[in-house]
Every structure is written in structure tokens, then in C-alpha cells.
Structure 1
Amino acid sequence: MVARGKGYLMNWRSSSSSLPSSELPTPINDDSIGGAAVETSDAAVDVTSHGFDGGPKAAGATCCSDESLCFPRFDVLQISPLDHHYLDTTDQEMQGASRAKSWAKAVQKEWKILENDLPGTIYVRAFEDRMDLLRVVMVGASGTPYHDGLFFFDLQLPPSYPDAPPQVYYHSFGLRLNPNLYESGTVCLSLLNTFGGEGTEVWSSTESSLLQVVVSIQGLVLNDKPYYNETGYETMVDKPEGRRNALPYSENAYLLTLRTMLHLLRRPPQGFEEFVKEHFRHRGRFVLRACNAWLQGNMVDNAHATEVSRKQPCSAGLRLALTKVVPSLVAAFTEIRAEGCEEYQ
């Protein structure tokens, strides 16, 4: 896990590598009917050259088309948000002034790394009044079911940091859109010691970092084939059963990503209210174009895919689910005056 995480620090690209987790949720209702994500651009939606069956994908989308509107990737605010998951966590007493000084020095070192090296699709806020807390938002990478979505995480650094890994909570809104992201907010990664591992798979006080954690979550968890994140499912890569199941799971992840957008617009995490609005003001029309493309029955046509997956249409379940979620998306994007949404009203 550490070795793979370092690879992401080198090229910032999403990976189809997987991490173990718990039992795969079974689609049983509208919350579990998914949608295959598609590649979008400022010019048009291209559902014929990018899908979730191994085709080309970009490293990730920027939060907006005008750099002047983007938030700083890293910033230190004076006051921590009242809705931070770990706000009420009581810190253990530091054992001596030297220990407290050492801890603060380690945290400041992490801040500097984040300030200098964060990729363009991850934004972090630290807080002067609570140096142990951070809030992170990731933009879903293109070529994945999470494209154009926003995914929020709260982190806490324990008094024993960096000997112990950070605690990480995912703002799930009760949705299970990935095997490694639980409805309860648990992030299941061996790097965080929330899943079994040994050696380089687990947290190292000398080798691991916060930057590695956030880049690994984006690259290894929010990847183009989340189905294979399930424990043991990586053995089905490129096998008929795997290909048969991976696409519906990606459709599921896509639909839940759309529903996460609605939750974020209704209740954005504190400190990121304007960030959420600006992101969807610029990207809302592309989200709707992708939905409309699938509703029109477009098919994934990828030259790099197999003959079977190249002719895989949008599922009937996805189209049915989209007919229910798209009107809500149109209304939400219209309310924040998202660009180009009038054509969908």
C-alpha cells in the first residue's frame, strides 16, 4: 500500500488497483441502482470514447474553469468548523513539553508538505485553534464513476502522531458508494490500520504521511473500477464474471455520486459552502449532459475495451434511476445558477 501510494505521489493518476474491504452491498432499491459514468469536457460529452471498462482517463478535473475562482489547495484557518466529526474528541494529555513540541513540529511538517505538493484535485483546510484537525475535499477523477463529484473527509491527528496514523471520517450521507467507504463514515484502508495488513501495507511513522493518505484515498479508493476494491474480487479482473459484475457496480457508484452531489448542495460542510457552489456552478451542466447522454441510450464505445464491453449499453436500471434523480439535480443546479442548466429545465 505504501509503495503504491508513493507511486501516486509521483504522477497523481488514478489507479485501478484495489484495496480490501467488507462485504459488497447488494443493489436492492433505488439507492443501489447505479449509473455508468462518462467522460465530459467543456466542449461536449463524449460517451463513446471513455467508459469504466479500462479506457483512457485524465488525472482529474479542476474545480473550475477560471483559476481565479478556485480555492487555495491548502490553507490554515483560525477556527475549526463546528460540524467537524472529531471536534468533540478529547485529546490525551501530552507527556511533557518536549513531547508537545515534537508533536507540533511533526504537524507543521505535514502542513508544509501539503501546501507544496497537493495535486490539483485535492483541497485541505487546517486550523490554528485545533492543529489536530483537518478537512479534505477531493474532486472525482475523470474516467471514474466519481467524475465531477466532491468527496469530503475529516481527519484527526492523535497525540501519538506520527507513531499512529490519523483517524479519517468520510461524509457519506448514509450512502455506500465504495467498498472502502462505509455508510458510518469509516474509511477502510490498511494504511490507516482500519484493515488488516503487515509490513509496508500499514502505517509507518518514518515513511507514511498525510499527503500519502489523501492521494491514496483518491487514487486507490475512488478509482475507475470500484468493484475490485472488494476483498478477493481482484482475482476476477479480466475474467467473464468480473466483467459482468464490474459495470453494474460502477453504475451503482455513479448514481450514488449524483445523490451525494444533492446532499452536498443542501448541506455543504462548513468552510466549503462557496467551494461547493462554485464547483457545481461550473460543472453542473457537464453532469447533466452526461446524465442526458445515458438517458438517450448512448452506449459505451471504447477502442481499448473488449468486444463485449465495447457494446455494453446503459442499463435499464440506470435509465430508470436517472429519470428520478435528474429533475432534482436540475432544480439544485438551477438554484445556485449553474452555467448552462437552462437547456435542461
Structure 2
Amino acid sequence: MPPHLAGANGGSSSAGFPRFDVATDSSDHAYLTHNKKAGSCFTNLSSGVHKKIMQEWKILEKHLPETIAVRVYENRIDLMTAAVVGAQGTPYHDGLYFFDIGFPVDYPRSPPWVHYRSFGMRINPNLYANGRVCLSLINTWSGKKNEKWNPAESTILQVLISIQALVLNEKPYYNEPGVGLWPGKPFWDKKSNAYSEDAFLLSCKTMLHLVRRPPKNFEVFVESHFRERGLAILSAMVAYKNGECRVGYYGIGGLSLVPGKGEPSEKFKAGIKQLMPQLAAAFARTGAPVGNFVEQVAGEKVASNSVEGKQNKRPAKKEKKTGGVKILFGKLKQILGLTKKKEKKAST
């Protein structure tokens, strides 16, 4: 490992987790078995491929934004893994999205390989359930010449920022081929709203997968992220279910639903009711302060934008040391109508 990268941290993200660092365990990487017959291009310090990858490491170490974290591997410099945080103002807000990256033997002449850890779900037109990432910058999608991979100028940092800004964007429906905005077309049409609803639900399902089984080397990052953002995510779910704001815009304001238009679909409401108890239980295991959340959403008439404020003002009730998560899960199921009330026996 190059001396300047020993103990590298490149700044910190969630709860002091280094945004950039060198790891050793690459056993769950999508491209682990690639490059087995690569020769010495990745181990020879004087090779052009090795030098270029080290340049990439330096760029990431210095310029990664706070919302992206990267792990490179000491014994496999041809591999790296990145975690991208979904941006506010999109249906992907507060979610975590993981990408495995591999370098071909002729890098940078050929672009890097990029695999999305999808858990079998297609959350975006450019991110397939099989992990395929469609992006002009890595030559997996059509685009203008200046949008394609340029061996002399393109970098991994550009790829990651493009995924965060251009793929996981505000209106993912319009990423579909042949679908686009034109003058006079309503900005919020039914198809776009429906796609954003589905994207948010799939993002929530992705969160469950990540909390239950985080990627190697990102265990602390995943836990601390959802410990910090868990309450906000649950509060957003209430807001969207109650039609208080458009999907993706919780906490931003100024985009309330027009009365009678754009109401959340019944399918979306049902999805929220199913996922919310599971997410609350998962976030509770990370230490997220969601204990009072059950009380705040009881009756489903509480304004969700006051949930976080009340949570911070009120001391959380102490839960029993054993079975606390189970109790929370049961209460949420009852509040959201997922359990049937026992019928009273007729008096004789």
C-alpha cells in the first residue's frame, strides 16, 4: 500500500466513519473472481494501470463528498466498493445504495465495471435487478461523445457523482428511454408520481436488507447512518401516507399536494403500512430514537412534520431490556391495522 494512504481517512461521513479507507476483506465483492489471469498489471508498481489506479485513490481520498463513502482493498487494487447516500428532494432520500467497482486490465483505456447491489429489486430505470448500471460515462448507455468515458479525463469520482445526481434523481420516471419532459407537459404527471412511490417503497425495502446484512467493511457506516436518520425516514413515511407532501420532499416544504390531485395511491399506502413496522424494529436495533414514534403516529392524524421535534423534546420512555423491539413491532402493527382485534364473546 502506498505510504500516503496508510491510515487514510479522506474525511469522515456518518458518525466519524472515514469516507475513504483501505480494507482487506473483499470476499463479498461482485468482481472478486475477475482478473484472475491479469498478470502483473495490478501488482507491478511501475505499470501504467497500477499508477492510474493510485491516482484514482488520491482523488477519492481528497475530494469525496460527505454523502459518498469508498473502500479500496490492499491486496486487490482492481476492486473497490462505494456507498452512495440518496439526496434530499428525491424518492431516494436517506437511503444507502452500494456499488461494486472493478478495473479492467487495460484501464483507463476501457471504463471501469460497475455493479449495483440491488437485492433483486429495480429501483431505477438505470439500475437493473441483476446489478447492471446503465450510464453513458461507463459506456453502458448511449450518449454524446462528451458524455462517454474519456481515458484522459474521466475518473471514478465522476462516475459516483453522476450516479448520485443523474441516476438517483428527483424524477426517476423520466430516466426511462423514450420518456421525457417537454414544454407544456405537467411536471407532476400520474405516471411520474406512481414511479416515485414505487421507488421509495423499494428504497425502504433496500434499507431493511442493509440493516439486516450490511456489506463487509460498511457495518459501522450502515448502523450509524440509520441510527441518525431512522426517525426522519419513519416520519417521512407518515407524511407521504397522509398526503402531506409529495414523495421525496419530506422536510423540504413548499411542495404540498394540491387538494384532490396527486393523492397517494392505495397501493402506496398499503406498502407503507406493511413496511413501517419492519423498518421501525430494524432502526430500533441500531439504537435510533424511535421509541416515542409509536405514540406520535397513533391515530394517524398527527402532523408528521412535528414528529421529530416532539421526539427531541420528550425523554424517551424506558423499555424493558428484553423484548423491547418485539413490543415496538407489535404496537406498530396494531396502530397500522395489521392485526385483527379480538372479538368480544357474546354475553350469555
2:26 alignment counterpart = 81
DSSP-derived class of the 1:234 partner: coil
Paired residues, number = 279
CA-CA distance at 1:278 after TM superposition:
0.7
Q: Deviations over 1:50-101 (max 9, x none)?
A: xxxxxxxxxxxx954xxxx231111122x13210111111242357998962
Give the one of 166, 170, 188 matched to 1:220. Answer: 166
Asked whether 1:210 is paired with 2:160, we answer: no
Give the one of 239, 259, 263 matched to 2:205. Answer: 259
Q: Is residue 299–residue 314 contact of structure 1 (8 Å, CA) maintained in 2?
A: no
2:298 alignment counterpart = none
2:309 alignment counterpart = none
1:327 alignment counterpart = 277
Q: Is residue 288–residue 330 contact of structure 1 (8 Å, CA) maintained in 2?
A: yes
CA RMSD in angstroms comes to: 2.7
The share of aligned pairs that are identical, in percent, is 45
**Distance in 2 between residues matched to 1:254 and 1:290, nearest whole Å:** 10
Range 155-164 or range 83-92, more displaced? 83-92
Seen in structure 2, the aligned counterparts of structure 1 residues 297 and 98 have a Cα distance that, compared at 3 Å, is closer
Scaled by the length of structure 1, what TM-score is found? 0.74
1:317 alignment counterpart = 267
Seen in structure 2, the aligned counterparts of structure 1 residues 218 and 257 have a Cα distance that, compared at 3 Å, is same
Q: Deviations over 1:199-237 (max 9, x none)?
A: 112111002111100100111000010001111212457
1:142 alignment counterpart = 88
Give the one of 100, 103, 106 matched to 2:49. Answer: 103
Q: Is residue 228–residue 246 contact of structure 1 (8 Å, CA) maintained in 2?
A: yes
- Please give the residue correspondences for 1:136-215 in structure 2 after superposition, counting only pairs within 5 Å: 136-215=82-161
Seen in structure 2, the aligned counterparts of structure 1 residues 295 and 113 have a Cα distance that, compared at 3 Å, is same
**Distance in 2 between residues matched to 1:112 and 1:179, nearest whole Å:** 32
Seen in structure 2, the aligned counterparts of structure 1 residues 95 and 169 have a Cα distance that, compared at 3 Å, is closer
Give the letter aligned to residue 26 of structure 2. Answer: P
**Distance in 1 between residues matched to 2:291 and 2:235, nearest whole Å:** 9
Q: Is residue 333–residue 341 contact of structure 1 (8 Å, CA) maintained in 2?
A: no
Q: Is residue 141–residue 147 contact of structure 1 (8 Å, CA) maintained in 2?
A: yes
Q: Is residue 80–residue 127 contact of structure 1 (8 Å, CA) maintained in 2?
A: yes
Q: Is residue 81–residue 100 contact of structure 2 (8 Å, CA) maintained in 1?
A: yes
Give the letter aligned to residue 118 of structure 1. Answer: L
Which of these two proteins has the greater Rg computed from alpha carbons? 2
Q: Is residue 285–residue 341 contact of structure 1 (8 Å, CA) maintained in 2?
A: no
Which protein, 1 or 2, shows the higher relative CO under an 8 Å CA cutoff with sep ≥ 6? 1
Q: Is residue 41–residue 47 contact of structure 2 (8 Å, CA) maintained in 1?
A: no
1:70 alignment counterpart = 16
